[in-house]
């Protein structure tokens, strides 16, 4: 028997063994990885290099197949429970960045000045206007009363330093685009209207 035939027999025998003892082989490989290989820098780097070479070869040899696989994977992932959970975690972790990004979009849409970053803002524990707790773990459901929101103190000045504050979405909705003078008149009118005659 030639060496090539011998290797073929070994491969077939190994494949039959793996098929027959699938769970045992999987558990043995998992134990080996967690107990030794995971902490072996040479092994880890070798796997990374192999992965890079494999992906590069696939992109060069089967570009259409790779693109289709990426599209299918993205389509299956987007909208799934894992996608929604990851989106919620990312939104909670980077809430200020999301708020600033949304503010930048609105500033561009309505042609307002914009010069703030997430480093210029702090999300308080309680809304400075209404005193209600501000919740960060509400995913991307921004339109709930306790969600944080960036408010322009003087709307016409836009999103500039010194003119923005993080409040609850409820407080921002109540204020809307009113000026401080208008808010004073509003409060004064309803105080007088509701007070006993």
Q: Is residue 88 part of a domain?
A: no
Nearest 5°: phi and psi at 124?
-75, 160
Nearest 5°: phi and psi at 144?
-125, 150
Q: Is residue 21 part of a domain?
A: no
pTM of the model: 0.53
Q: pLDDT tens digits, residue range 25-40?
A: 888 888 877 777 777 8
Helix (H) or strand (E) holding 165: strand 164-168
Domain count for the chain: 1
Full residue range of the structural domain in which residue 159 is found = 94-193
C-alpha span between 96 and 175 (Å, rounded): 21
Residue 165's CB: how many other CB atoms inside 10 A?
A: 17
Q: Is residue 13 part of a domain?
A: no
Q: pLDDT tens digits, residue range 43-73?
A: 888 888 999 999 899 989 998 988 888 888 8
Which tops the pLDDT comparison, 81 or 186?
A: 186
pLDDT, position 116 = 93
Q: Is residue 17 part of a domain?
A: no
Q: Is residue 141 part of a domain?
A: yes
Q: Are 137 and 95 in contact (CB under 8 A)?
A: no
Q: Is residue 11 part of a domain?
A: no
Q: pLDDT tens digits, residue range 75-123?
A: 777 667 777 677 666 666 688 888 999 999 999 999 999 999 988 888 8
Which tops the pLDDT comparison, 11 or 76?
A: 11
């Amino acid at each position: 028997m030639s060496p090539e035939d011998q290797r073929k027999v070994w491969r077939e025998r190994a494949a039959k063994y793996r098929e027959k003892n699938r769970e045992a082989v999987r558990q043995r490989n998992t134990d080996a990885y967690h107990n030794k290989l995971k902490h072996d820098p040479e092994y880890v780097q070798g796997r990374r290099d192999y992965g890079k070479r494999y992906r590069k070869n696939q992109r060069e040899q089967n570009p259409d197949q790779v693109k289709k696989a990426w599209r299918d994977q993205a389509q299956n992932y987007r909208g799934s429970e894992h996608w929604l959970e990851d989106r919620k975690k990312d939104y909670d972790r980077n809430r200020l960045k999301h708020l600033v990004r949304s503010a930048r979009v609105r500033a561009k849409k309505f042609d307002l000045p914009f010069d703030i970053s997430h480093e210029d803002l702090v999300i308080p524990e309680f809304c400075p206007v209404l005193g209600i707790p501000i919740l960060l773990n509400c995913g991307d459901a921004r339109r709930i009363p306790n969600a944080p929101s960036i408010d322009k103190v003087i709307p016409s000045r836009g999103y500039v330093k010194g003119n923005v504050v993080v409040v609850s979405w409820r407080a921002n909705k109540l204020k809307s685009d009113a000026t401080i003078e208008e808010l004073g008149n509003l409060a004064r009118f309803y105080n007088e209207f509701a007070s006993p005659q």
